[in-house]
Chains A and B, each alone.
Chain A
Amino acid sequence: MTDRLIAHVTPDELAGRAGRLFADGYRLALVAAHEDPGALRVVYLFTAGAPDRRTELHVRLDPNEPVIPSLAALSFPAGRFEREMRDLYGVVPAGHPLPRRLVRHHHWPRGWYPMRADAGPPPAFGDPEGPYPFVTVEGPGVYEIPVGPVHAGLIEPGHFRFSVVGETILKLKARLWFVHKGIEKLFIGRDPGEGLPLAERVSGDTSVGHALAYCLAVEEATGCVVAAEAQRMRAVLLELERLYNHVTDLGALCNDVAHGILNAQSGRVREQLLRINAEVTGHRLLRGGVTLGGAVLRARPDPGRLRAIAADVAEIAELALGHTVVADRFAGTAVLTPGAARDLGALGYVARASGVAVDARRDHPFTDLGPFTVVAGETGDVMARFQVRAREIAASVEVIAYLLDGLPPGGVCGRPPCTTPGGATSGVGIVEGWRGTIAHRVELAPDGTLTRVKIADPSFFNWPALPVALSGAIVPDFPLVNKSFNLSYAGNDL
């Protein structure tokens, strides 16, 4: 486990310290507000890879007048975290360029901050801050297409407002935050073991990713040492999750250009993977595999079978890209430039397809993955995202084969969870889920219960990249582009 540097700074020192960290190659992994007795405390977690470095800046604020200087000028994600913090805790970012609501929709009353201890039950709607400030694009022939939040297909709720001339998208505003569940608040006061089922359910398709990040964070906080074998098993589960999600999306991308036969084929492969998942963990979506302090594998996945599946998927990808019309639809569609990806702090395959090689498996490893290399693309279009994910499938199967090599056959349990050493502690877990880098930060009370869990899903970073990539694209290509990003609504809006 990597040591974290924790520095307590005053609000005035914050920008300077953060600027130096950014200059040293750190990225902002998460920002979380905490309610301490007699103070509000804001924690900035900065991480950097190669070698794995983690630095925290803690800023104490006056609870009666919680104002913190905004870092939005230094980092785009910081500005978004600050808006989230303002909505949930009432911490005001001073000098923020866009100080409006992010998480809380406008019908929630002013001055009500749901994460505060004294928030109470949700109040009645009222005292709205006015209608949502959609930017209207004006000009001859410009019209708006509102879509959602209820869609024709079975997808999560999000409202998209397109400003269009002809079929060309001039501006897209994605209005999200329809699924706020208060998950972070539900953690508070629970025993870490009781928090695990919650973490598994943050985003239904990322149960291993979030469960593992949560467990790593709790284990760091409790000083629990996890057996190397258990860590390898966890890495296997993480790759299994990546496999079935990547396969699903490769098929869905083909389906979105009406090449349904490849979707049917990847559906067949996906089912094989889900059955392997069920054999390995007893759950088709891999729940219950990662436990506090260890991992449970009912059976080892067979590397030969997985290799056969990888070959099958490679053929599907080859057929897709060999199809002139499919390739034409993918190529050059919705380009996210490397500069934009870097500025927005994009993560996962979205960033890697734009040539920004961020991968927590290399930057923040919790176990040795063998000869693993980060898969990266260049062009940043739908094609690149498709190819990166197709290549990651092959890479994941090799990683699984490497990890299984040293694992004893059959189901193995890790060591049981440790007890808290006494005194308030904190821990951080960073994991490369299939969508990108997931970061969890937990704080424990002296009695071992959770006082705060902050979850940062990669979707939180990647959502702003979608409208940027889409400017200049055409309306009928939006579903394809959206699928190529495949961002989580549930993981974004906790």
Chain B
Amino acid sequence: MTGLIGAVSQVVLVAVGSPLLAGLMRQVRARLEGRAGAGVAQPWRDLRKLARKEPITPHGTGWVFRLAPLVLAGTVLVVAAVVPLVTTLSPMDGVADLFAVTALLALGSVALALGGLDTGTAFGGMGASREVTVMALVEPTILLSVFALSVRVGSTNLGAIVTSAVHDPLEVISPVSLLAAVALAVVTIAETGRIPVDNPSTHLELTMIHEAMILEYSGPDLALIEWASAMRLSVLLGLLASLFAPWGIATAGAGLAAVVLGMAALVIKVAALGVLLAAGEVFMAKLRLFRIPELLAGSFMLALLAVAASFFLA
């Protein structure tokens, strides 16, 4: 029962809180740059505005275009339900496998890339091509770095990895964890289209990655995509927090109080990571497109080292 409540609360928290996280990050950036900012709730206001608009689809697009936002949002919600964010006791624990989660996230990205291609415009194709290039470099790194963490547990189940870390917190402070944490942080930035890989606030069509792909979406479809993108960011930040700072997560035998505590801990951890990321972005600039593979290859190397280290230091 606790597990079910925990899983539901995770999904609700991610669904409601993600736009607020995006708003918080924008607000932090604005304040650090000396601007007033639009307020933390602005993404929700934007979503409300978009959701009220009439749905429009471009001529010549088919079911792929219409389905892509739904698939994207659906996969993120499933990931939010299974990944150990508030509790490790999700009733869908069996799906909380490292490979399944990575594949689910990739499925959402691929669906959106296909939606971009379906428009037949140069921008959709260009954005999809860039997104897939980044994804092809990101996915192996995610797999490898979580794999490095799974070695000591002997399971690729995320719940098991986190539970083991909760019971033995000192495990987290190891070279393996450190290497994997850095690698995962880099790919989280790349996967969610943040600076220095992509600029979420640009209006320059030709430089966009994620935004170019969704250029033809409008109204409720766009709202769904924006919402799903915000959820992806919070799920990935939450996963990062759960893997490397698993304190407060409700584990086996926990009561309702532990779930509430887990929720509070999740909000604090993800907000802190978001603020850190936004503050970091202020000091960064966007890399030249051809430098992005170098960055991602670097993070892949770290993940590979983490795997190697996990065997040698075991």
Contact = CB atoms under 8 A, between A and B. Distances in A.
Interface string A427-442: 0000000000000000
Given A259-B285, A261-B33, A328-B291, 13 more contacts: A147-B206, A151-B205, A256-B204, A257-B285, A257-B286, A260-B33, A260-B282, A261-B32, A264-B34, A323-B285, A325-B286, A328-B287, A329-B288
Interface string B276-293: 000000111111111100
Contacts of B207: 256, 476-480
Interface of B: 29, 32-35, 122-123, 125-126, 195-196, 199, 201-207, 282-291
Given A143-B122, A145-B123, A146-B122, A153 B285 contact: no
Given A167-B290, A325-B196, A147 B285 contact: no
A152 B203 contact: yes
Contacts of A145: 122-123, 126, 206
Contacts of B199: 258
A479 B204 contact: yes
A474 B34 contact: no
Interface residues of A, number: 31
Say what secondary structure dominates the interface of chain B.
Answer: loop
Interface string A312-354: 0000000000010110110000000000000000000000000
Contact of A265 (B34, B126, B283, B289): B34
B165 to A, nearest CB: 34
Contacts of B123: 145
A167 B290 CA distance: 9
Mostly helix, strand, loop or mixed at chain A's interface?
Answer: helix
A268 B34 contact: yes
B196 A474 contact: no
A325 B202 CA distance: 17
A219 B22 CA distance: 59
A52 interface: no
A264 B204 contact: no
Given A258-B195, A265-B34, A476 B206 contact: yes
Interface string A260-276: 11001100100000000
Q: Which 7 A-B pairs have the closest CB atoms?
A: A258-B286, A259-B285, A479-B204, A258-B199, A264-B33, A145-B122, A325-B285
Contacts of A147: 205-206
Nearest to A154: B203
A192 B257 CA distance: 83
Contacts of A256: 204, 207
Contacts of A325: 196, 284-287
